[in-house]
Structure 1
Amino acid sequence: MSIAEVSGKTLDELVSLKGRRAVVTGGGRGLGKAIALRLAEAGADVLIGDIDEDLAHEAAADVAQRYGVRAVGVAMDVADSASVAAAADRAVGELGGVEAWINNAGIFPSIPLLEMSDADWDKVFDVNARGVFIGAREAARRMSGAGTGGVIVNIVSTAGFRASAPGLAAYVGSKHAARGLTRELAVELAPLGIRVLGVAPSYVPTEGNLLMLRQALAAAGMPEGQEPPTALMGTGPVGRPGVPDDIARVVLFCASDLAAFMTGSTLLADGGDTA
């Protein structure tokens, strides 16, 4: 099955996701919710999975109310294959299928290497690398089973291109793994009509990211009560930190037919931070 040739489509048709169904992991807030909102605005029905089921339901209700699409919120632990498979089955059962799957869920605890336990390392890789593998596998099984093809977008990080900061060995390693998986899965899944792309943000302040950043800076000795210096992080040549919608727009591009001839690449969405 080859990827469709779409040069005869209008620009509106290329951007539109009307009639398609998308899954966003870690979609209850932050980047994930921004991504779900943009996909829904383009016309996609959306299943939002999150480790916090209440957040998933709240986000789905907001998406449905804003854009009039079908939106479902479910509890999902991306490191648990049964949990991911159950969410994928709900997307098929309640939305009718899956044509786009966004592996967004991730964590970045800061633990100095000499203090890092095997369990600490495994937890990061379970979410950031194993979660990408499981999500891609379950998405591809349903896309190929339905004969529809589709697209898988993995949220990587600039940490998938370079070292990041002390204490993030597991995070940097897991994001390099996610970037490598993106390239390998693109080759393996192309004959099934499935494209695989990565999007690599620099640091983007969100509710969840700020909490993890505070924890990371506390581990590095930041005085208690001092706010993280978010204005200094991820500004790059553009002169400002990213916001969730900066990343969501790039994901929408990847998921749409605008990117129909692209697979295997990881697009930097970093304000030039790695230039």
Structure 2
Amino acid sequence: MDLRMDEAVPLAAALVSRVAEDHAVRALILKGPPATELGIRSQRPSSDVDLLVERDSLPVMVEALSQRGWRRRPTTHDGEHPLHSVTMYHPQWPSDIDVHYAYPGLESQDSSVFEALWERRRSTTLGARAVWALDPTATYLIQALHALREHNKPINISERRFLISEAPRPDWEDLRDLAQRTGSLGPLRAFAREAYPNADRGTFPAPSLEWLRRTEVTEPGVFRLLHLHSLPWARRPKYVLQGLFPSREQLAATDLRLLDAPARTLALARLRRIARFAMRLPSAGRQWMEQRRQR
């Protein structure tokens, strides 16, 4: 199979919609082409499908996709922060599928968030198949939260500018009500004050510490340092060793070829990882101290 990315993403969306239907799973396409269709996302190409399901449906979808040749993408995650999705890849498919049971910035209980978004579903067509996507207000909320994560990245700055200056903005009262139901008023605060300057400033609670870290931390090592500090002393040496000498699967998170690489290649990859960490340690240390002061 030799799919272009602009073919692979719609077909993957159609696939997960069919799989969800076959297993009686309620599933929503969160962003990507449906958001572009509404003019709420810029025309840049999508590289994956973001699917939201209920927490109990996550293992059902992962298993069903596994039976169709999809595999869990390795991750570097080692307990630093809560996981909210499982990423699936296919050896013959250029795009991934991210199966979410939660979404960063939507901080209400997972089941409440899903019901609020499910009420906002709309039907659209991807890969010649009807799929469930989100209405304009919910789409705008998801795109805003996505653009606020790692807020200093150029692509996220560009997306926020697009949302404020070019995308059709939903009615503030409608967006506010959805944000209240999904627990995203705090995370949305900085963006909403710019996009909706007349909104009542007393509406917004303070963002959570977890959200502030998602938006402010640019060095991945910071999360490991913060998690290390939270562990009992007896567990810290093992965690440090795991960070310095990660498993084959963790190394393969950035290069799938390492899953089957010989021992020498794996050793070189570990050395390069340590070298990268050493180079970025001063910056990570500064950010770590800043985050410690915010606690």
Is TM-score (shorter-chain normalized) higher than 0.5?
A: no
TM-score normalised by L of structure 1: 0.29
Structure exhibiting the larger radius of gyration computed from Cα positions: 2
* Greater share of residues in helix: 2
**Higher normalized contact order (CA 8 Å, seq sep 6+, divided by chain length):** 1
